[in-house]
Structure 1
Amino acid sequence: MTDHPPGGEPSELVELARRAATAYDRPDLEKRLGVVSRAVADDRARVLVVGEFKAGKTELVNAVIGGRALPTDAHRATTVPTMCAHGEQPAVVLVRGVEGGVEQQQISPTDLAEHVTERGNPDNRAGWSHAEATLPRPVLEGLRLVDTPGAGGLASPSAVSTMAELPGADAVLVVADGGRELTAPELALTRTAAAVSPTVAVVLTRIDLHPHWRRIADIDRGHLDRAGGERSDGTGGSSLRAVRIFPTSSALALHAAEDDDLPPDTARELAAESGIEEVRRLLVREVAEGRQARRIRMVADEVIVACEQFATAFRAERDALADPQRAQRIAAEVERSRAQAASLRDRAARWQQTLNDGVGDLVSDIEYDLRDRLRAVVADAEVALDDTDPAKTWEQFAPWLHQQVSAGVSTNVVWAEERTRWLAERVATHFAEDGAGVLPPVTVAASPDGTGLAADPVSMLAAPDHEKFGVSQSLMIGMRGSYGGVLMIGMLTTIAGMALLNPFSIGAGLLLGSKTLVDERKRALRRRQAEAKQAVRRHVDDVTFQAGKNSRDMLREVQRTLRDHFTTTAEELERSLAATADAARAVEADDAKRTARLADVEAELERVEHLADRARRLRGRAGSGSSRSSRLVGA
């Protein structure tokens, strides 16, 4: 036990439990513990910093880490998400997805602005998916801060990308300017984040520039409290009431951190007045340590479950060796428990029915929600097309439609993630209730987020082939309409002795030609509008088809993951009980051999119980603070 794995005591416990599983011939438990060992390898919490354009997100990240590491500009916004993590030496890597993998390019930290801001990469024309910056900042130990581009409303492309990342975030900081109250898009973004992320906070920036920031904070508090009674999915909830507001001044914090001429007391006062220390305390003590505590609890629970299965067989063998007369009775009791565990793998088990029915209901509900959202988009698009000429406004209309469709699909995905978590908890509850008295504590496998299950991408909305209406065509239509007028009026005027071509016939021809031209223009406009509406419907149908397939694939993957997880748990328990029954029956008739075996069993049982006690003590310490937190908060 002198060599500790890199992950500390949690990783050490998992490795000890894996060795025990190998020694006790339990490859099923060794495989499960191997998955746990890989899951706890990275204990860094992921924090998304989101908000509108020029709200002060990048400056807030710099203030939190205690220095100007990321580029800021008064006029140029961030275009590429930038993740800040701890490292021994400053370094920056640009990442871009390519066919068959990813492409990485290492650059100098001084050149970061040329790649992640509008100065050198407007609209992210380079196509970088994100940048990874490693910095030797103590506060980043255990954290990954992600500075995102401006949202610009939930319908913007940047906001759609941000919403897709929300389910995987340990915390979300919604950044808003302290000079104005929260806007409707900011409230919608906060509501969406609170539905899927365990920690959400609103950070008001630039309070040093706005003396009325306290009134703004009170107004924002009222907005959040009122919005907390109604969730984004229409159900009641209080998630937004728990969202905290942090008034901050990044300029004061950076001034206190970077001005070496300031007296230490003044620097501390400025840092405290800036409000950044409260944000650091949230990230370090609650977010980073919260993730670490969850990681420790997961490790401890898995080790305790494994130890309980090891110990069950040893206890039964010990009792049978101590009293051979009880061996058959012990074996019979274990067989009854084994039959109960085996029933959990039956297709008629309640948790199986709950899972199958729940996935079926989710497929129907999520598909209906997607179709309902996209039908509303189509209705809005048709209203917009009725008021415009698609041939003139298509360049503005197509991006707007893409944004609306993307926003609807992203909201549907977030809602699906929330519903699948609820289903997983319900299945776990029924599984535990059906196995009461037999099952050890049950942990729920995390549901997949659908990554890698996407169907073929939907092509961009193509402009319909509108009929050309040039000068020559207008002239021909006018002449065709005027011909009838000239001929009709000219024939009537010849009765009065006038020529065929006279002022009356020519005037009538001009009048009828103009009317024909106007009517033809209206018919052509209606044709263009109808063709544009058909193009919109075809595009939305393609999106509905592909997004629906993605949702069904994700839910089927959830179903398989939960089914395999709980079936494996039942099989592990059934195997443990089978080994227990065999150990209870295999009682040596020879007293000397039985005594020697009893001593060995007692020793093994003591080792297993010692490992379980270590896991319980570690779990008990998971919620306690540490001196390291105080050091990082003050860094």
Structure 2
Amino acid sequence: MTQHREDDAATPEPEGGPDPAGTTEQLMDDTVTGLLALVDEQPIASSVSVPLRSLAGRWREPFARVAVLGEVSVGKSTLINALLREPLLPTAVPALSSVPVELWYGPDIRGMVTLYDVGRGGIVERELAGKEEIKVYLTEAGERTVTNRHGRGAQVLSATIQVPAEVLAGGLRLVDTPGVGGANPAHRRLTLAALSDADAVLFVVRSGEPLSASEQDFLVQAAQRVDSVAVVQTHSDLVYEAKCKLDDDVARLRTPSTWAAVTDDQEDADRIARLMSGVEGLSVSARLALGAQAAAPGPQREEDLALSGLPELEEWLRTHVVQRVEEIHRRDMVRLTESTARAVRRRLEELHEVLRGDEKAQLAIDERERRIAEWERTDGDSWRKHINGALTSLAEDLPVQAAARVEILRADYQDRFDKMDRAQREGALKTLPLQPQAALDEMVTTVRERLREAVRVIPERDDKGVIAEHLRRLGDSATVSVRIPKPKKISDSAMEQVANAFVMAKAAFFRSRIQRRDGDDAAGQNQPTEADSGSTALAVFTSLTMGTVKELFARRAARREDLTTLFDRVVKAVTGEVLTVALKEAEQGCASVTTVIEDLLAEQREEVDRDRHDLRLALELSPAERAERLAATTLSLRELDELAGRLAVVRERWDL
């Protein structure tokens, strides 16, 4: 692996004079420090500088961090387990999908979790010894143990695990991230944070399925932030010609027409296509790889491992990431510095335009006033109160909806029990248990429609349909169930009564026949009459009936009792568990929609905040104060030019 090194003092000087700060690495650090100082002086979107700030603190580290990204349940953890040759991360049991996990090389398996400890009232770290304790802190099954140790409301925030895995020995670090899709927008924020700290990305997708719009959008963000990106499908053995389909998908990503369909700017489409030109497509069967790793050594094991595609992925990580870690860090530093500098320059030029006090300045002011008015028209500042109002109304209306549902069930079922025949009772026993889920689905629909109404104006700013997609997924996992009473069987005592009655009837029947035969022999008659046989059969039937009729009536009454019991359970579920789940969905839905809108409008809000800031400067400052600010802006532009010159020296020295 290539190690970082300080450039020695004898490095040839580029045209333009000596290096003013000594080594090239030091010059890079000084340039970034100066640029971030300019960022802090200007109202610039925080997202512009976050990746650069993150990399500036670690770009000399001799290891590469690879973020494993993808939508929920596409096989990210299974893929990492295959790379580790160790089923370490939970896959068969529900994992705490909101917890990012970073893995690096170590002599034995141990970990460290960062969590909020209620008892201590703050964030603490806890060391994890071995796989079992790791599973406790990284799966839903272990939440009770975590609660017992750290208090109700304790939350695992992140985890690091060291593993003696060969793939990590060269300096590779893998980061398992939350899914970028699903109904929880907080997962997307966590994944974006992991992306800011990544040197490369493995973007995991489902085999045989085309990339979704959200996957394509996230791939663009990944390619803009890191130098090495691979799209990896993890279940290639389950889909016919999976690799061919993946290759076609990746080829489409590299075509400008693909992106022209989602952006009106052809230059932007061309730029994205160029970013995608470096994206690789890798087809892997993580399941086949894990099976081969667990098998005994031999030709079959090696064949299965080769067929799994895992060796190709390991080779890509080795040649495109680990062996290029120094180059990757340098390229990313220069690229992120340049993009941040462009954003700062745009901001300074906008401010300079407003402060000049001429005709162009007035046009700029008019444009800012127009954007602010449009922001206010589309509830940019007031949408939160509409969502809060929706939550308040749902808290009042959902219990009423539950009560109305119970009355409908009472009319459809309970009031008709006594008139039902056997088939109708059996049908009711099948359909009644479905009613709580139907009631929940109805309430979730109410929640979805109420939230859609609350944010009806905001979607005008949502050209990608993010809010609509989120509302569509709301409540997908909300379920309830009701236990059906088991049908009562004939009791043991009743069965014994029936058996005894049958035996007694049979004995009486034979005893009667013997007596008649003896009497008939004495009288010279050998054959029983038809009347004798009929009376005997009637005696047997009467005996059996008398032994079971009471039980049959009891069973009929018990079935009526089963219906009543089931109905009571359904009513209790609708007014209890169903209502609780629906109210929880409403609360979580309001919170998650709020997060989605905050993320969606973050850039626009920052733009409006800058517009308002600029208007205050243009309209409230005196001419002298405005001239002073204009001079300061001009000076900042000159400083930015000097930093650009230093960055050009760095780029030339590093031959980038």
The TM-score range, normalised by the shorter chain, is 0.3 to 0.5
TM-score, length-normalised on structure 2?
0.46
